[in-house]
Amino acid sequence: MSKGVIFSGMQPSGRFHLGNYMGALENWIRLQNDYDCVFSIVDLHALTSSYDDTSKLQDNIREMAIDWLSAGLDPEKNIIFVQSHVKEHAELCLLLGMNTPLSWLERVPTYKDKIVNLGSQGKDMHTYGFLGYPVLMAADIMLYHANYVPVGEDQAAHLELTREMVRRFHTLYHCNIFPEPQPVYSKAKVLPGIDGRKMSKSYGNTIPFGASPEEVTARINQMVTDKTRIRKTDPGHPDDCVVFKFQQVFNTEEAPTICERCKAGDIGCVACKKALAAKMNALLSGIHAKRQELEKRPDYIQEVLDNGAKRAQVIAAKNMAEIKKVMNVL
Ligand code: SF4
């Protein structure tokens, strides 16, 4: 029996990497068995920061759908769709924008950070849409009466704002139609990039999601290891080694032994990397094969997204009618 409705989305902002998978998607795959999940490729959110270059938007949407399906998200169990294909997201965002205090949006911790960060890259983020990002996010969640939202600890403030907006809506319009969405904290496994910094496309240190076994092995061979270790017999420091961080995620059974052997100078980095490549490829080669197959089936991908949008639209239209009724917007 379902434990409730979950809404979550991801921005289609370029090729997915393994860090994205371990950070969120792997968690979704688990949740799909216990909840009624609505998963959206949130293209309107992508426009809040990439409004000046939309040339790759459709490609990115398609790639993201392929990533999700090849990872194991089931379009029968979940509603999988593109946000802009269900117009009610924009409509509810507009209505909620009428009663959301500006100060609530200005105090969102990530707002000022992003203005500064993206501003330093030459992008003007002083836009109406960017400030209103949390309103659109609240609309996404409220439109499906979601009970839960999977969040990382750093996104808790956004969800708290949605909860405040739910309470304000109920007070203003004397109703009680939305659940106050609760966070589902994921035990996200954080993967560093192959150079030890945060895994990020802008650093060129990622392992692409759906990479071939050859690509995975090549990227492992480039990983930074304990720099103080010159010979195989030198005692190593696994905590200072990127390979070991990956062993702890992908090779949990052998990681404790590898740790001891590394400290004792009893295993070389080449053998250690080889063991990691074997484990990662055992897990990822299936995803790679599935991705290859789906890339040849654009009609199927379109069908999944069209069906998802139809299913989402039925719920959105029904809930939107109720929302407009209590607001006397008929
Ligand atoms: S043996 Fe493994 S854990 Fe130790 S430094 Fe080399 S790659 Fe890292």
pLDDT tens digits along 167-181? 999 999 999 999 999
Report whether residue 223 contacts ligand 1, using a CB cutoff of 6 Å: no
Nearest to 150 by CA among 37, 267, 319: 37
Q: pLDDT tens-digit profile of 266-281? A: 999 999 999 999 999 9
Note whether 220 and 276 are within 8 A (CB).
yes
Q: What are phi and psi of 185, to 5 degrees?
A: -80, 130
Report whether residue 275 contacts ligand 1, using a CB cutoff of 6 Å: no
Nearest to 34 by CA among 1, 80, 70: 1
133 three-state secondary structure: helix
Domain ranges for the chain, please list them.
5-191+298-326, 210-292
pLDDT at 301 over 70: yes
Alpha-carbon torsion, ordered 113, 118, 120, 124, to 10 deg: -110
CA 92, CA 95: separation in Å to the nearest integer? 5
Mean pLDDT (the chain, rounded): 92
Band of pLDDT at residue 132, cut at 50, 70 and 90: very high
Q: pLDDT tens-digit profile of 186-242? A: 766 778 999 999 888 878 899 998 889 999 999 999 999 999 988 889 999 999 999
Q: Which residue has the higher pLDDT, 65 or 330?
A: 65
Choose the residue to mutate in 229, 232, 244, 250 for probing ligand 1, maximizing ligand atoms within 8 Å of C-beta: 244
**Listed range (55-64, 123-132, 220-229, 291-300) with the worst mean pLDDT:** 123-132
CB within 8 A of 153, min separation 6: which ones?
A: 185
Q: Tell me the percentage of the chain whose pLDDT exceeds 90.
A: 74
Residue 255: both structure tokens together: 């990681």
Q: Which residue has the higher pLDDT, 2 or 273?
A: 273
Q: Do domains 5-191+298-326 and 210-292 have the same CATH topology?
A: no
Q: Give me Rg for the CA atoms of the chain.
A: 22
Band of pLDDT at residue 298, cut at 50, 70 and 90: very high
Report whether residue 294 contacts ligand 1, using a CB cutoff of 6 Å: no
pLDDT for position 253: 93
Note whether 28 and 60 are within 8 A (CB).
no
| Fold category of 5-191+298-326 in CATH | Rossmann fold (3.40.50)
pLDDT for position 299: 97
Distance 22 CA to ligand 1 centre (A): 22
Note whether 143 and 320 are within 8 A (CB).
yes
pLDDT for position 185: 82
The predicted model gives 154-176 an average pLDDT of 92
pLDDT for position 153: 67
CATH of 210-292 given 1.10.240.10, 3.40.47.40, 3.90.1150.10, 1.20.1530.20: 1.10.240.10
Band of pLDDT at residue 290, cut at 50, 70 and 90: very high
Report whether residue 272 contacts ligand 1, using a CB cutoff of 6 Å: yes
Q: pLDDT tens-digit profile of 60-108? A: 999 999 999 999 999 999 999 999 999 999 999 999 999 999 999 998 8
Q: What residues pair up with 10 in beta bridges, in sequence order?
A: 41
The predicted model gives 305-319 an average pLDDT of 98
Distance 243 CA to ligand 1 centre (A): 6
Note whether 215 and 208 are within 8 A (CB).
yes
Report whether residue 244 contacts ligand 1, using a CB cutoff of 6 Å: yes
